[in-house]
Amino acid sequence: MTRPDSMAAGLQCGIMTSQPTSQNSDTLPILQVAVPVPLPGCFDYLALADAPVPVVGARVRVMFGRRKLVGMVMTHGRGSELPQSRIKPILEVLDSSPLIDASLLGLLQWAADYYQYPLGEVIASALPKTLRQGQPAELKPRHRGLPAPCESLGSGPALNAEQQQAVAAVSSHWGRFQGFLLEGITGSGKTEVYLHLAQAALAQGKQVLVLVPEIALTPQLVARFRERLPTPVAVMHSALSDGDRHCAWLLARSGEAGVIIGTRSAVFVPWARPGLIIVDEEHDPSLKQHEGFRYHARDLAMLRGHRESVPVLLGSATPSLESLANVQRGQYQRVRLPARAGGAELPRIELLDLRRRFLDEGLAEPLLERMQKHLQQQGQVLLFLNRRGFAPALLCHDCGWVADCRRCDARMTWHARAARLRCHHCGYECSPPPRCPACDSALAPQGEGTQRIEAALQRHFPDYPVVRIDRDSTSRKGSLEDALAEIRSGHYRILVGTQMLAKGHDFPDVTLAAVLDADQGLFSSDFRAIERLAQTIVQVAGRAGRGERRGEVMVQTHQPDHPLLRSLIAGGYARFAEVLLEERRMAQLPPYASLALLRAEATEAHWPQAFLSEAYQLLAAQGDARVQLWGPAPAPMERRAGRYRAQLLIQAEQRAPLQAVLRQCLPQLGTLETARRVRWSLDVDPADLH
DNA sequence: AGCACGCCGACT
DNA sequence: GTCGGCGTGCTC
């Protein structure tokens, strides 16, 4: 008997009811099963003779080698290249209907192919741990009827004309795909647009998927959606317990949760009634997974919207150059919110030239004076420095000895409060030597971190309470929330911190914000550093003057004439992006080219180089002149956590030839003699080149 | 990735 | 005489 054609339609139907007509094993369908192992492709298994054939998208338990694994049925095959004798029967069918529907399964297959990552592992990464391990796809009774929607809804501020236009633009595309870029300056009310669109989607019985960077997924954001929308809101992020994640996933899948808010992995959450995908802060680098399966949640969200015929709305005050280029190409429709909701004026940004100026622990006099003025006028002041700890180095002023990390090519950061040296790259930690090990002189902290700034400010402004917000100060659970609450209450007058402080929070009383060290971003070897710097400056600026008073922003730099910095100050982010896009076009860099980065590391420096040289030969042998290879070269920080790292950059103007070369070569890479001497990985569309 | 098998050093 | 080091090879 041949496989009935209805099996191919198993994607759409529920339980596969067709039974094999005989017990003879060679008439049983052969299932292609994706198994969570780092091997490409699927593995063939036999269905069970006396049980319904599992549908495509169902999980099955199988014997793989000597161990039992949970795999996913991808197709029902016509046969196998293997002799029947080598094909094992599955052990158990875990789902009677597809756990993941055809379009999501297709997306996962596409992603496995595009990012060159094993399909079984891609699928595993899309499932909560409980389901990965084979637990039934059922809600536990105690999880039923989760956060009931609020009683008092349909409130909130009235939309201004631009917000209404944004809502109307997206609303004219229900049920079909269109990409939108919502460019809304900080405080322009992007979230209100999201809420109104969500309401509209819910009113039509559709669901909404909202992706946010980890740092932006605060209880306030979730509370706002819960207060305003007449539906349970499922939340998905890394801090969730396994049980809560299981529950949220199934509530999304069943359609009970009308809104799903989550970080990047939520792009893979199944839903019953696709309505709208929103990606907030779409420029944020944390939307790209930077280890293992290195997907970009924004890009996959766009693809998912396309496959499922729903509009996709990307939102940012500082859009990625990729998205701006897609607007230029006519791929995305641009929607703008140019004014601050409530009419607050945008802050004025000025560069503070540090050249030949005395710096008091990283703070220039004009900044201190301006701080004094704002503090006296009851304003709050926010200072941003993307470097935690007390000082980024501990130095001997007599002989130049520096405390280096013994496992990395990096300086140890001095943490004064803990009286410890810590490496921020590998986590190595030790006590400082009492004197210089080379010449026995005294050691001194060199440079500034947030701790040192905090201490300096306490000396300068003893009457104004200072709070520091960074990973060190908020390690205790809930401490960030407590500190933010005390900031909003007005208790703290001076705020100093890292990205944690700059992103997403609304501090209505901040009237002065400052970026203490813009030079870091200007000297990085990474071509995206300048884009990140501009985004950070604008984000920090957005913290100032959200209330009634106009804000001021100061940016300390030794490069006040830097053309890109000037374009940002003079023409805003839009002008800056124009200039930088032109630079990227000239340099053949994204978004006008495709990149992939092949990385390798080993405890001996020789092996990564040797492996990448072999890889180079293999890739070059494809003879595609449209694909260029750069390297191999040592990573910008060659030694990290005791391992030597090197990389090979693969560049092409068009995506297709790059993909073709990678697809051709990747299987062979693993078979190279040097491959087993190194840990290697491929990063398609790398977010940074480090 | 696991988890085998397989072939050479210090112990009851 | 064995226990165990990790090199090499396979998993439908």
Structure token pair of residue A62: 């199988």
pLDDT band at A153 (very low <50, low <70, confident <90, very high): low
Greater confidence, A48 or A151?
A48
Q: How far is the CA of A421 from the C1' of C12 (A)?
A: 52
Residue A390 has pLDDT above 80, yes or no: yes
Per the CB < 8 A criterion, the answer to whether A641 and A407 are in contact is yes
Residue-level pLDDT at A339: 74
| Spatial CA neighbour of A301 closest among A318, A320, A276, A325 | A276
* Span A611-637, average pLDDT: 94
pLDDT number for residue A481: 85
Q: What does the pLDDT read at residue A6?
A: 35
- CA A193 vs. chain centroid, Å, equals 22
CA of A638 to C1' of C10 (A): 34
A396 in a known ligand binding site: yes
Q: pLDDT at residue A196 above 60?
A: yes
Question: Residue A218's pLDDT is what?
Answer: 78
| C7 C1': nearest CA residue | A676
Question: Could you tell me the pLDDT band of residue A239, with boundaries at 50, 70 and 90?
Answer: confident
CA(A426)–C1'(B11) in Å?
38
Question: What pLDDT score does A538 carry?
Answer: 92
CA to C1' distance (Å), from A563 to B2 = 54
Annotated binding residue A399? yes
Task: Give one DSSP letter per residue of A79-146, joined into a string.
Answer: --SS-GGGPPBPSEE--SS-SS-HHHHHHHHHHHHHTT--HHHHHHHHS-HHHHTT--S---GGGTT-
Distance CA A685, CA A298 (A): 12
A513-549 pLDDT, tens digit per residue, is: 999 999 989 988 899 999 999 999 999 998 887 767 7
Question: pLDDT per residue over A556-584, tens digit each?
Answer: 999 999 999 999 999 999 999 999 999 99
Chain C footprint positions (protein CB, under 7 Å): 8, 10-12
Asked whether residue A12 carries a pLDDT value surpassing 90, the answer given is no
Shortest-distance nucleotide from A37 CA to C1': B1
Estimate to the nearest angstrom the gap between the alpha carbon of A13 and the chain centroid. 35
Strand C proximity list, CB < 7 Å = A 37, 39, 43-45, 62-65, 80, 82, 86-88, 676
User: Is A423 known to sit in a ligand binding site?
Assistant: yes
A13 annotated among ligand-binding-site residues: no
Strand B, nucleotides covered by protein (CB < 7 Å) = 1-4
Those residues whose beta carbons lie under 7 A from strand B are: A 37-39, 65-67
Q: How far is CA A243 from CA A133, A138, A141, A214, in A?
A: 13, 11, 12, 20
A150 is in an annotated binding site: no
Q: Name the residue among A181, A130, A126, A170 with its Cα closest to residue A297.
A: A126
pLDDT in tens, A249-297: 999 999 999 999 999 999 999 999 999 999 999 999 999 999 999 999 9
Nearest-nucleotide field for A66 (CA, C1'): B3
Q: Is position A247 annotated in a ligand binding site?
A: no
Protein A125 CA to nucleic acid B6 C1', in Å?
Answer: 35
Distance A603 CA to C5 C1' (A): 19
**pTM here?**
0.93
Mean pLDDT of A587-599: 97
> Does position A11 have pLDDT exceeding 90, yes or no?
no
Helix-strand-coil split of chain A, %, nearest 5: 35, 25, 40
User: In angstroms, rounded to a whole number, what is the distance separating the alpha carbons of residues A128 and A124?
Assistant: 8
Reported as a pLDDT band with limits 50, 70 and 90, residue A424 is very high
Q: Is the dihedral of CA A650, A656, A661, A667 positive or negative?
A: positive
DSSP reduced 3-state for A32: strand
The separation, in Å, between residue A37 CA and nucleotide C2 C1' comes to 35
CB A552 within 8 A of CB A545: yes
pLDDT for res A343 = 63
| Percent of chain A residues past pLDDT 70, beyond the cut | 93
Residue A191's Cβ-count burial label (10 Å; 0-12, 13-18, 19+) is buried
Q: Do residues A393 and A423 make contact, with C-beta atoms less than 8 angstroms apart?
A: no
Interior/surface letters A595-623, b for 16+ CB within 10 angstroms, e for the rest: bbbbbbbbeebebbbbbbebbbebbeeee
pLDDT confidence bin for A143, thresholds 50/70/90: low
A598 phi, psi to nearest 5 deg? -95, 120
The full set of domains in chain A, from first to last, is 4-132 (3.40.1440.60), 160-342 (3.40.50.300), 344-391+447-584 (3.40.50.300), 594-684 (3.30.70.600)
User: What's the confidence (pLDDT) of residue A21?
Assistant: 36
Check residues A655 and A78 and name the one with the higher pLDDT: A655
- pLDDT confidence of residue A630: 96
A205-214: b or e for each residue (b if 16 or more CB lie within 10 Å)? ebbbbbbbbe
Is A430 a known ligand-binding residue?
A: no
Query: Hey, which bits of A338-440 come out as E strands?
Result: 348-353, 359-360, 363-364, 380-384, 393-396, 413-415, 420-422, 429-430
pLDDT in tens, A92-115: 999 999 999 999 999 999 999 999
